[in-house]
Structure 1
């Protein structure tokens, strides 16, 4: 399968690197990372030990073609990614992003089926040309509206062929909200406390993360999705334990003094739940930090 990974940061490089073991992959990202990959290949270490040689570029030609485009940019950059991919000849697209609504943004611009996905693999861009897998997880994908599709089956088979733990799921709406609950509970809490995910397994951080997850479940129910508060909290606990040594993506952003995805995660929940004081507080604190550093 010919695959474009648009947004080759930590997660995009990890998924692209694993896929490159059996597929033709093009990473689209920023220098100096993609420049190094183009010249010397991509190293994947941590839970893996491999070196692959995908194509790598900072910009796609308008006539690019691929069986699949995987979008891994930050939620705020989804529209720009869709614009860059709009003139490409694509068989399908898959969002492996944080936040909600990315699939709608892509579908509005792209003339191909758009799939929704979640990913619990841990990734850290250690240096240009090298990505570290900090934890083996699972990719789940399917139609964003739910149900089954041959395209989802084909993409799932391509991921599985590359050794990526993959589930093709007919219940993606619920899974997307559950992922949002996990991100709402873990990302902002670890970013503000400057702790790894495992610090939320118990102690005071657990209470904050659990409250954020329960609020997310209430927002999901208001949207017609059957996600109970108990299931949302259980998902946070499960992921925090499984990724205990991981630095969450939002924590990585704060450490690097980059803008976070708080608007598409905690802010999204706060705007849709009847009462979400924990998510509102977490969002406001991170927005205050961003503004102080002129990241907004």
Structure 2
């Protein structure tokens, strides 16, 4: 049985803990009270207990060595979370990062030893927390994982058997390309739904088409400058497909704004803006949304 630590009990953290706890020993690191039971609910079906143990940071020293540590916190929280977990990692622990946006992978790689593999997991599973202890699984989706450092890229077989309980999990060699493709979907959906307080499907209205086109045009130019082959037509198709599949869902950024929480805007539009400066590419549409979201909510 694999010992797995999931860092963060947001929607994705709880969904992963539900699936992985069927055949693994799963602990979930949370800042909330650990005595409260967490529940999983699939659409309108009755909810049931998530068979994982919830722990606080002070409990880590008494826990077993973890084979796999999965970070499901937001992009701007990854480094702090890693710093807190690092003293408790085994010499050969496998790390997995999963969040919206880009950034922080290179920083993590520099802090790992040569026996610690680092992977990135991107997923289109849809879910939200109806309360702080209940996750609603509202839509199917594919989860894709790929190696980020040399050890993980050289030995992809390490991780697949350990996480096989995750539905529709696929191992790939080009995770950087897929991460950027997912970033562009987030660029098209998250800031606009947060700014206008609307569901994902409402972005298909003609009023948003010009803005979405501009956002993705800038993103594709940055991707191409980085050596990634992403066509604007494909980026648009991906974004509008996700809008249709998650039409009744609110994006994570919309939920963050609605609940007065920090957002991942710096890892999404902020990343396009920063990389645009690096490659001398103008990104006015992303710059504008970045400023509007920052003005709407003070973000990290």
TM-score (norm 2): 0.88
Looking at structure 1, the residues matched to 236 and 190 of structure 2 have their Cα atoms a distance apart, in angstroms, of 14
Q: For residue 61 of structure 1, what is the aligned residue in structure 2?
A: 60
| Displacement after TM superposition at 1:197 (Å) | 0.8
Q: For residue 221 of structure 2, what is the aligned residue in structure 1?
A: 218
CA contact (8 A) 2:118 2:152 kept: no
Cα deviation digits, residues 13-41 of structure 1 (max 9, x gap)? 11111111221111112214x441xxx3x
Indicate whether 1:106 and 2:108 are aligned. Answer: yes
Q: For residue 289 of structure 2, what is the aligned residue in structure 1?
A: 282
Structure 1's unaligned 5+ residue stretches are none
RMSD: 2.2
CA contact (8 A) 1:9 1:29 kept: no
Q: For residue 85 of structure 2, what is the aligned residue in structure 1?
A: 85
Cα deviation digits, residues 162-185 of structure 1 (max 9, x gap)? 251111011111101101101111
| Displacement after TM superposition at 1:208 (Å) | 2.3
| Displacement after TM superposition at 1:148 (Å) | 7.6
Q: For residue 182 of structure 1, what is the aligned residue in structure 2?
A: 185
Looking at structure 2, the residues matched to 106 and 134 of structure 1 have their Cα atoms a distance apart, in angstroms, of 32
Looking at structure 2, the residues matched to 246 and 172 of structure 1 have their Cα atoms a distance apart, in angstroms, of 26
Structure-2 change in CA distance of 1:110 and 1:148 (3 Å): closer
CA contact (8 A) 1:185 1:209 kept: yes
Looking at structure 2, the residues matched to 256 and 244 of structure 1 have their Cα atoms a distance apart, in angstroms, of 20
Q: For residue 200 of structure 1, what is the aligned residue in structure 2?
A: 203
| Displacement after TM superposition at 1:11 (Å) | 1.2
Looking at structure 2, the residues matched to 241 and 139 of structure 1 have their Cα atoms a distance apart, in angstroms, of 18
Q: Decide which moves more: 170-179 or 210-219.
A: 210-219
Specify the SS of the correspondent of 2:141: coil
Cα deviation digits, residues 174-210 of structure 1 (max 9, x gap)? 1011011011111101100111111123422243233
Specify the SS of the correspondent of 2:60: coil
CA contact (8 A) 1:148 1:170 kept: no
Q: Decide which moves more: 97-106 or 230-239.
A: 97-106
CA contact (8 A) 2:118 2:149 kept: no
Q: Decide which moves more: 118-127 or 60-69.
A: 60-69
Q: For residue 41 of structure 2, what is the aligned residue in structure 1?
A: 45
Structure-2 change in CA distance of 1:2 and 1:260 (3 Å): same
| Displacement after TM superposition at 1:146 (Å) | 9.3
CA contact (8 A) 1:181 1:216 kept: yes
Q: For residue 7 of structure 2, what is the aligned residue in structure 1?
A: 6
TM-score (norm 1): 0.89
CA contact (8 A) 1:17 1:54 kept: yes
Specify the SS of the correspondent of 1:66: coil
Looking at structure 1, the residues matched to 150 and 198 of structure 2 have their Cα atoms a distance apart, in angstroms, of 35
Specify the SS of the correspondent of 2:297: helix
